[in-house]
Amino acid sequence: MESWNKTQISEFLLLGLSEEPGLQPFIFGLFLFMYLITMIGNLLIILAVHSEPHLHTPMYFFLSNLSFVDICFTSTTIPKMLWNIQTQSKVITYEGCIIQVYFYLLFAALDDFLLTVMAYDRYVAICCPLLYTVIMSPQLCALLVLVSWIVSALFPLLHSLMVLQLSFCSDLEIHHFFCEITWLIRLACSDPFLNNMVVYFGSGILGGVPLAGILYSYSKIVSSICGISSAQGQYKAFSTCASHLSVVSLFYCSALGVYLSFTAAYRSHASAIVSVMYTVVTPMLNPFIYSLRNKDIKRALKRLFGMEMFVKWPFALGLKNCPI
């Protein structure tokens, strides 16, 4: 099969969720609606946390960071998809594809690490309540977020540099609505062994290690909750982590569904359709999950809409030590 050097590849074709022309207006309207809901919902969470002094605690600090990452995560893929549908074009440049791969992996990894950090926060709050303000200091919270950013930025950089070394064949069609790295590797004519090893290694580090940390934290949380004598105390302890547990379940179940669908359907749109849960639906639902069961967030949102206070910036959230 004829192949070209990687420097001669100028563009790829994103085939999207469906190639049926009649479905394009519906897909455009649906994804535009979900994207706007995602943006508005997560921005409201950030505004509510930043504007309410009593929400300047570690739990809400991590939540506001998660909302910011979800906005960036969705914005990495959906605007390009909407633009392609609107212009009736499937083209994405070679450089644009590599950039999209990097930022997609960056924000996906950040989501993973922030959920792990939030699980640790709930573990300390429930299992070590008397030491919570000492352990979860503003310095530690900032350090955990900073380390998450650094680690999340390094692995995607390695992936992107490895993709740059690949040569591609005449088949440049990606059966997805964004540049998914496993699709790029499968389109390569050159030997993808090292790229596959990096993908497997990165998945183990960025997926397996955080998941193990979350499972360990919740095993300790469940053990601690079972040791509480009163049913009311058990319910109160569980309610503090129910929202986070729901988001974790949605995140990992959708990611697992993407992986299984991709391995089962190589040349179809099945993996792209399942990826919608991971890339669009989960970031869209996170603000609802955290706000509907959280009285503090609902109270802050009511004040925000009622114009009872002014939103103050800068963007950096000032943490203060206060008990759960």
What are the sequence ranges of the domains in the chain? Answer: 9-306
Classify the C-alpha dihedral 57-63-66-70 as positive or negative: negative
What are phi and psi for residue 312, nearest 5 degrees?
A: -110, 135
The residue with greater pLDDT, 74 or 290, is: 74
Q: What is the pLDDT of residues 102-113, one digit of tens each?
A: 999 999 999 999
With cut-offs at 50, 70 and 90, classify the pLDDT of residue 269.
low
Residue 249 scores a pLDDT above 60: yes
Q: What is the CATH number of domain 9-306?
A: 1.20.1070.10
Q: What is the pLDDT of residues 126-142, one digit of tens each?
A: 888 899 999 999 999 99
Query: Which structure tokens are listed for 305?
Result: 């809409």
C-alpha 322/C-alpha 137 separation (Å) is 10
Q: What is the pLDDT of residue 263?
A: 53
Check if the beta carbon of residue 181 is closer than 8 Å to that of residue 105.
yes
Ranking 97-111, 164-178, 291-305, 309-323 by mean pLDDT, the lowest is: 309-323
With cut-offs at 50, 70 and 90, classify the pLDDT of residue 307.
very low
Average pLDDT for the chain? 83
Q: What is the pLDDT of residue 293?
A: 67
Query: Which structure tokens are listed for 204?
Result: 């183990």
C-alpha 322/C-alpha 238 separation (Å) is 20
Check if the beta carbon of residue 293 is closer than 8 Å to that of residue 242.
yes
* CA–CA–CA angle 143, 149, 153 (5° rounding): 145
The residue with greater pLDDT, 29 or 267, is: 29
How many residues make up the chain in this entry? 324
Q: Please give the model's pTM, rounded to 2 decimal places.
A: 0.86
